[in-house]
Amino acid sequence: MSFSTVLSAAIQGLHVEMIQVEADVSNGLPMFHMVGYLSSEVKEASERVRTAIRNSGIQLPAKKMVINLAPATVRKRGASFDLPIALAVLASMGIFPEESLKDTLVIGELSLDGSIKAVSGVLPVVMCAREEGCKRCILPRQNIQEGILVQGIEILGADNLTEICRCLNGEQELESFVGGIHHYYDRGCVQQNQKEEVLDYSDIQGQEAVKRATEVAVAGGHNLLFVGPPGSGKSMIAKRVPTILPPLTQEESIEITKIYSVLGMIDKENPLMTGRPFRSVHHTVTKAALIGGGMIPVPGEISLAHGGVLFLDELTEFQKPVLEVLRQPLEEGQIRITRSQGNFVFPANFILICAMNPCPCGNYPDFNRCTCTQAQIQQYLGKISQPFLDRIDICAEAPKIQYEMLAGAKKQESSARIRERVCRAREIQKKRYGQKRVLTNSMLNVNELKEFCRLERREEALMRQAFASLGLTARAYHKILKVARTIADLDESEKIEESHLKEAIGYRTIDKKYWGR
């Protein structure tokens, strides 16, 4: 009987911490004692591990067994430590040589019969193992497809504890995989987003101005607000945004898949996220569910929308404190959460799309049909603060649809055509910003605005007049320049012209119409 160590990992937010699972089997009062700052589900592993070992045909001796999960300063949560604990105990008993687990990371949950169950967060764990110099990972068989997304590390998949023991003794071989995202694409495992085939902008009659505003928003990564009466097509237009978003790069796919992997929200057979996320959030959402949180924080909806779209329908029905917490991540592209265990940073670079009615009945400013009092309208619109509105780049009014529009047979432009223009504009931005950490025009800072959004004399005079007449804030001024830069990119123009600037200013006059009084 001796001491042994098995390498495993714990996930803190989106950060992976390497964990040494140490086991010591020695003479003394028979016991199975676990230490190392453990949560209740990890403490329960002692019963699962002992029963799984016994049901795998291995008799545990009546010895003193102490298991330590180091470092003791890191909180261990989840059932993924079952398998490394079992292997550490068996190595201490001499069932297989400890050297056979050198440079090997192990995670997995055990059933009482010794079979191994899938766990969440495999992708970031395997990536961290590769960075730490591990040569292979032993994973549950259901997690193999996720593990082989990582290049440069061997993946061993196992169904039960007996298989692993035989493999470590050299009696049999576990199925081995050496992957990488390019192999994943080569095998044709990538599934396209089915919504793109079902939804299309050609389904929507009319609302050309709103569709144009949506195209500009997607091309430059700008936040967008739709204001209009019920039934004017706001939600229909928003739900078709995924059909015009540019495709993900391989790096973006891996980054988004990591977030969904930690939350256990990926398909085990086809784990790679190949479509940009579109998260539609109900107005009853809490602050913690939106931005992330908990005693050990986990990513929220804004991180699930990273690289894609967060859609808030019926904006004024959201609680005001919930909307206000969006201000910081909209500005910085990430969310920071502080807890006693440490600081957690989650990515949150998304396009915010909101939709709302202009008043409780939805008919303002049509006073022939609106039944609301001025006080009711003011109270209703007052739920959206000015600082929040300043973070909206484009505000588009969706008017009531006329019968002639609905009954017309005019063929509408397809999502594929719009997407082509969006991709061209994104490519222009990519070439312009080169090695800078700027992906879209919406990410430009003040110094970069001066460099890339210079105005000629006529445009400067127009901007000065708009600033004074609309009572713009500095943030709103910068937003207009960014939107004008995107409109110029859609026109494939090197400089911002007067027509581009007028259109960008027009997207700021709608919010002044409703909130400017």
Domains, the chain, in order of start with CATH, read: 3-186 (3.30.230.10), 195-431 (3.40.50.300)
Q: Which of 24-28, 84-88, 191-195, 397-401 has the highest mean pLDDT?
A: 84-88
Whole-prediction pTM: 0.90
Q: Answer whether residue 428 shows pLDDT above 70.
A: yes
Q: What's the confidence (pLDDT) of residue 193?
A: 40
Residue 384 has a CB neighbour count (10 Å cut-off) of 21
Residues 362, 166: contact at Cβ < 8 Å?
no
Lowest mean per-residue pLDDT among 3-12, 288-297, 392-401? 288-297
Q: What's the confidence (pLDDT) of residue 368?
A: 83
- How far apart CA 257 and CA 139 sit, in angstroms, is 18
List, for residues 216-239, the tens digit of each pLDDT value.
999 999 999 999 999 888 999 999
Q: What is the mean pLDDT of the chain?
A: 90
Q: What's the confidence (pLDDT) of residue 192?
A: 44
List, for residues 472-513, the tens digit of each pLDDT value.
889 889 999 999 999 999 999 999 999 999 999 999 888 788
Lay out the sheet containing 104-106: strands in order across.
31-35, 64-70, 15-26, 3-12, 104-106, 136-140, 154-158, 175-178
The helix/strand/coil state of 251 is helix
Residues 153, 134: contact at Cβ < 8 Å?
yes
Fill in the DSSP letter of residue 152. Answer: T
List, for residues 368-416, the tens digit of each pLDDT value.
888 888 899 989 999 999 899 989 999 999 988 877 777 776 778 899 9
Q: What's the confidence (pLDDT) of residue 9?
A: 96
Q: What is the mean pLDDT of residues 91-97?
A: 92
How much of the chain exceeds pLDDT 90, in percent? Answer: 64
Q: What's the confidence (pLDDT) of residue 1?
A: 55
Q: What's the confidence (pLDDT) of residue 175?
A: 84
Q: What's the confidence (pLDDT) of residue 182?
A: 63
What token pair was written down for 310? 């967060």
The helix/strand/coil state of 8 is strand
Name the nearest CA neighbour of 418 among 467, 347, 471, 490. 490
Q: What's the confidence (pLDDT) of residue 205?
A: 83
Q: What is the mean pLDDT of residues 176-194?
A: 60
What token pair was written down for 4? 């042994």
Alpha-helix residue ranges (DSSP H) falling in 190-297: 195-198, 208-220, 234-239, 250-262, 287-291
The helix/strand/coil state of 278 is strand
Q: What's the confidence (pLDDT) of residue 194?
A: 41
CB within 8 Å of 349: residues ≥ 6 apart: 306, 307, 333, 334, 439, 443
Q: What is the mean pLDDT of residues 130-138?
A: 94
